[in-house]
Structure 1
Amino acid sequence: MPFKPQDQARCPKCSKAVYAAEERLAGGMKFHKACFKCGLCQKYLESTNVTEHGGDIYCKSCHGKKFGPKGYGFGSGAGTLGMDTGERFGNTESEMSNRPTGDAFTAVKVASGGASTGPKCPRCGKTVYDAEKAIGVSTPWHKSCFNCKSCKKSVDSSTMAMHDAEVYCKTCYGRNFGPKGFGFGQGAGTLSMG
């Protein structure tokens, strides 16, 4: 039986026959070298950076932006935090895409009492997420809020003192709430009675 052109694999992008000399493989499909481009940014792909999703191919970066997790703590690189929903890439399936913005966001926040589930920071009253939580204290605080109320010096669990649900460095705590009188509140080893 002779070989017929219609028996040849077809490129999913241009629907033309793909011959062995020009084929690129991804997701069990054969593409032309010229058609082997990201469905969003149009960069040419290689076997090391191609990702298939729903019959189309993407570079790993665009695939992550369009189909990856969205919301606080997810971004496009190590150490980045972002609220990118991927809308500019055509992503409409993210729950973040449906969140209100601007005045509508403020109205929803006010209507719900600003309520977001999770523990609240005693200083600013906003939700404390694990990524921003101060370590070493039983009550959740934002790292940025966990400083001395008087002098704003950074403190940790070994250099802090609590008073009326507020954090102070030991020096300010002693100055404001420690014993009063001659020889007190001047620092360690300065107590004198003479």
Structure 2
Amino acid sequence: MTASQFDCQYCSASLLGKKFMLKDGNPYCIKCYDRVFCNYCEECKEAIESGSKDLCYKGRHWHERCFNCAKCNHSLVEKPFAAKDERLLCSECYSNECSSKCFHCKKTIMPGSRKMEFKGNYWHETCFVCEHCRQPIGTKPLISKENGNYCVRCFQKEFAHYCNFCKKVITSGWITFHDQPWHKECFLCSGCRKELCDEEFMSRDDYPFCLDCYNRLYAKKCVACAKPITGLRGAKFICFQDRQWHSECFNCGKCSVSLVGEGFLTQDKEIFCRKCGSGVETDI
């Protein structure tokens, strides 16, 4: 390289006896090199001059003194770190900010440690325990109540109801009949075995019956319409001697006027208002 070739590639100043930098095989004086090629620090926005250490991460650059945790400001030089939303965080700050918190102890579940998830919440494995026996539940079956989670054995011991029909443990919703719990699927009509949990039903001798079976087996029949008299939903009916009527069916056999709350006359199996029944022997 001749003396003329040993000039700054940018300003042409002689570099003989001076410090210089090479870029793509070409020499530059320090001032020109810094002006043309230096990177700018992400933190302080100042130039990272050739005499300073340039730390690079994913195309971004920092002075060594500026390469710090965005939260605690401790240096990240030669230390593990992670990026979140373009911020650099030390391992501890990243764990505190980004890792799950234990639902029980409220402490951070550190990355790499085993955590348990249930109903959208997280626990340390050692915190996810049965509320009664305090033994870790892990991946075993559990039953949840308002005050905590229980292993199946403790739940059955402390809280379980037993179905009056099948005598097995009830772990979810049930039907109460005569102060006894029943599985919904076990609460059946004593006649046709139809499920009654979403149906209207009647009781006879402490046994439940669907309306069809109760009406067929036990309900009295209206003298007028021959349909069953159930008394459901506050329906009223009239009894006289050994006969029954729906209240809307208790009408004069001749003029059909309602006899509810009125005096009436009878002849054989017929009932009459006083006007139509004049001359009838029995007066009620």
Q: In which range does the TM-score fall when normalised by the shorter chain?
A: 0.3 to 0.5
TM-score (norm 2): 0.29
Q: Which has the higher strand share?
A: 2
Higher share in helix: 1
Larger Rg: 2
| Structure with larger RCO (C-alpha < 8 A, sep 6+) | 1
